[in-house]
């Protein structure tokens, strides 16, 4: 099997950017300096420009726009909340018990109600991203086709029912999700052995490279300075030290996600081992012939997920490929980074096997494989922070659900920087402390063991035709902090 491996991602390789000609660093103090040229940084600059057309704004990016997770993800502009909803709710309720008149109490919401507001804001963000694309003429191959989670086993069906109940508790209404039986599921996407699914109409599929590059083009036209090939090393009050010299800023946003350890400084939400890079790998097939699509269906270009513990996420691309991702080799000792994204051959084989298990009657030629780094906290919850004394803000920890969350995070960071109390500053990811990751080698052993455990649980459920979720998977989920 011959395929491209690495090169950041298939999306980026299909939409090559112009050669980097490093923009001169600004000599004057900027109103806003953003460290990180991914979606959080781009959206922060976009909304800062809308609100403050007179501001001087500079984005600093170590490689090129979209080089990190923003240009390597599965392209789900989804309604999925970035974190464990029960953990957010528990944190809010705990804060209310400790200080009923404090910042959390002033919002007037208990834990579950606070998460429901969070979910509502994410629903709005999907619509707002699509509206910006239309307004600014950004063609990211977006299609508002929803997403569908499919179960291929009885145990998987039990998890779908639990998901449906949890979603209803935390803010999904009848218009936001629909249970489909086996026939209705296969009429949408003809997945082998599909027993049922939940369809979520709110999600849209996009090409993430086209979105990031489209936003960057818009920002340059609006006078935002973007300095690529400019890596930050230390961030302090009013100054970012880079490989090309210092950049001064009245306000600084740190938007590095899985790359957060590449900078030093007394940064809110990043002290100690709060965020680590966890890898997710993807493959993209060659374009499928029309006959294959007749067999598969997938006419709505829905985003596709499943209920396996070693879950997959996929989309039908605008040019007729299947792009599919999953974990596999999820973590490098010492929080190593993925570089240009080359994937071990065994992980490519694993993902190709998962694709074949969905559509066993078809043959697929793999065109490209790549991987990227997610920013993951110990409780898998994202956090938004702002230190008013230093005027430094941080967004981190999307845990793979960042395409929509980055948009909401950017608007929240700007509200935090303004000092105003708004509905966004009252959402439960503001100042959410997730705890510290264990030191090495405990961290490496724990993460690798967790994913091995999930693989064993999937195999056991398949071999035994289990009706309920494996006890092994339940144990692994609780140990990792994923259980709601």
Summarize pLDDT for 280-292 with one digit per residue, the tens. 999 999 999 999 9
7-61 residue pLDDT tens:
999 999 998 776 777 899 999 999 999 999 999 999 999 999 999 999 999 999 9
In a 10 Å sphere around its CB, with 0-12 CB exposed, 13-18 middle and 19+ buried, how is residue 238 labelled? middle
Name the pLDDT band for 77 (thresholds 50, 70, 90): very high
- Is the N-terminal amide bond of 213 cis, ω within 30° of 0? no
Give mean pLDDT, residues 170-193.
Answer: 98
Structure tokens at 304: 């596709």
Name the pLDDT band for 106 (thresholds 50, 70, 90): low
HSE, side-chain direction, 13 A CA sphere, residue 97: 7
354-402 residue pLDDT tens:
999 999 999 999 999 999 999 999 999 999 999 999 999 999 999 999 9
Instruction: Check: CB of residue 341 under 8 Å from CB of residue 6.
Output: yes
Name the pLDDT band for 91 (thresholds 50, 70, 90): very high
Handedness of CA 88, 36, 128, 200 (dihedral sign): negative
- What's the pLDDT score for residue 371? 97
The phi-psi region of residue 233 (left if phi > 0; otherwise alpha if psi is between -120 and 50; otherwise beta) is alpha
455-466 residue pLDDT tens:
776 666 677 777
Cα separation, 427 vs 421, in Å, equals 11
On the question of pLDDT at 253 being above 60, the answer is yes
φ, ψ for residue 374 (rounded to 5)? -90, 150
- What's the pLDDT score for residue 465? 73
On the question of pLDDT at 475 being above 60, the answer is no
On the question of pLDDT at 203 being above 90, the answer is yes
HSE, side-chain direction, 13 A CA sphere, residue 158: 12
107-144 residue pLDDT tens:
778 999 999 999 999 999 999 999 999 999 999 999 99
- What's the pLDDT score for residue 56? 98
3-state secondary structure the chain: CCCEECCCCHHHHHCCCCCCCCCCCCCCCEEEEEECCCHHHHHHHHHHHHHCCCCCEEEECCCCCCCCHHHCCCCEECCCCCCCHHHHHHHHHHHHHHCCCCHHHHCCCCHHHHHHHHHHHHHHHHHHHHHHHHHHCCCCCCECCCEEEEECCHHHHHHHHHHHHHHHHCCCCHHHCEEEEHHHHHHHECCCCCCEEEEECCCEECCHHHHHHHHHHHHHHCCCEEECCCCEEEEECCEEEECCEEEEEEEEEECCHHHHHHCECCCCCCCCCCCEEEEEEEEEECCCCHHHHHHHECCCCCEEEECCCCCCEEEECCCCCEEEEECCCCCCCCCCCCCCCCCCHHHHHHHHHHHHHHCCCCCCCEEEEEEEEEEECCCCCCEEEEECCCCEEEEECCCCCHHHHHHHHHHHHHHHHHCCCCCCCCCCCECCCCCCCCCCCHHHHHHHHHHHHHHHHHHHHHHHCCCCCCHHHHHHHHHHCCCC
On the question of pLDDT at 62 being above 90, the answer is yes
- What's the pLDDT score for residue 104? 65
Instruction: Check: CB of residue 78 under 8 Å from CB of residue 203.
Output: yes
pTM of this prediction?
0.95
Please give the radius of gyration of the chain, using alpha carbons only, rounded to the nearest integer: 22
Looking up tokens 């997920």, which residue turns up? 305
Q: What percent of the chain has pLDDT over 90?
A: 85
- What's the pLDDT score for residue 341? 96
- What's the pLDDT score for residue 448? 83
Cα separation, 443 vs 120, in Å, equals 34
Give mean pLDDT, residues 316-341.
Answer: 93
On the question of pLDDT at 468 being above 80, the answer is no
Name the pLDDT band for 244 (thresholds 50, 70, 90): very high
């Amino acid at each position: 099997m011959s395929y491209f491996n690495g090169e950041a991602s298939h999306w980026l390789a299909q939409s090559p950017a112009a050669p980097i000609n490093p923009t001169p660093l600004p000599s004057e103090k900027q109103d806003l300096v953003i460290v990180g040229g991914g979606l959080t940084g781009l959206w922060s600059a976009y909304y800062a420009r809308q609100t403050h057309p007179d501001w001087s704004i500079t984005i600093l990016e170590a490689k090129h726009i979209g080089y990190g997770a923003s240009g390597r993800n599965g392209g789900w502009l989804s309604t999925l909340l970035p974190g464990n909803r029960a953990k957010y709710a528990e944190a809010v309720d705990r804060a209310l018990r400790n200080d009923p008149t404090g910042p959390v109490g002033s919002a007037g919401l208990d834990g579950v109600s606070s998460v429901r507001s969070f979910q509502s804001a994410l629903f709005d963000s999907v619509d707002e991203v699509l509206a910006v694309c239309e307004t600014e003429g950004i063609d990211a191959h977006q299609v508002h086709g929803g997403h569908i989670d499919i179960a291929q086993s009885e145990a998987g069906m039990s998890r779908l029912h639990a998901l449906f109940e949890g979603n209803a508790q935390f803010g999904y209404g009848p218009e936001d999700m629909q249970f489909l039986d086996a026939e209705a599921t296969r009429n949408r996407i003809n997945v082998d052995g599909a027993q049922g699914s939940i369809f979520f109409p709110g999600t849209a599929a996009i090409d993430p490279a086209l979105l990031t590059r489209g936003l960057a083009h818009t920002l340059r036209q609006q006078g935002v300075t973007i300095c690529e090939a400019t890596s930050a090393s230390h961030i302090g009050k009013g100054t970012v030290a880079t490989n090309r010299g210092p950049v001064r800023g009245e306000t600084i946003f740190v938007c590095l996600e899985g790359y957060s350890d590449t900078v030093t400084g007394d940064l809110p939400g990043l002290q100690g081992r709060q965020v680590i890079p966890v890898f997710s790998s993807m493959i993209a097939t060659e374009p499928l012939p029309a006959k294959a699509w007749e067999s598969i269906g997938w006419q709505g270009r829905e985003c596709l997920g499943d209920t396996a513990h070693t879950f997959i996420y996929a989309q039908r691309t605008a040019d007729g490929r299947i792009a599919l991702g999953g974990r596999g080799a999820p973590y490098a000792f010492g929080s190593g980074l993925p570089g240009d994204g080359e994937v071990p051959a065994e992980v490519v084989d694993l993902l190709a096997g998962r694709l074949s298990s969905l559509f066993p009657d078809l043959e697929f030629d793999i065109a490209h494989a790549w991987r990227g780094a997610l920013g993951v906290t110990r409780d898998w919850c994202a956090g938004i922070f702002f230190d008013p004394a230093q005027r430094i803000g941080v967004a981190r920890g999307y845990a793979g659900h960042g395409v929509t969350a980055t948009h909401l995070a950017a608007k929240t960071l700007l509200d935090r920087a303004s000092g105003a109390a708004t509905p966004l500053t009252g959402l439960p990811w503001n100042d959410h402390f997730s705890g510290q990751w264990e030191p090495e080698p405990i961290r490496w052993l724990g993460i690798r063991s967790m994913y091995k455990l999930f693989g064993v649980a999937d195999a056991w459920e398949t071999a035994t035709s289990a009706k309920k979720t494996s006890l092994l998977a339940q144990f692994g989920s609780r140990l990792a902090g994923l259980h709601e």
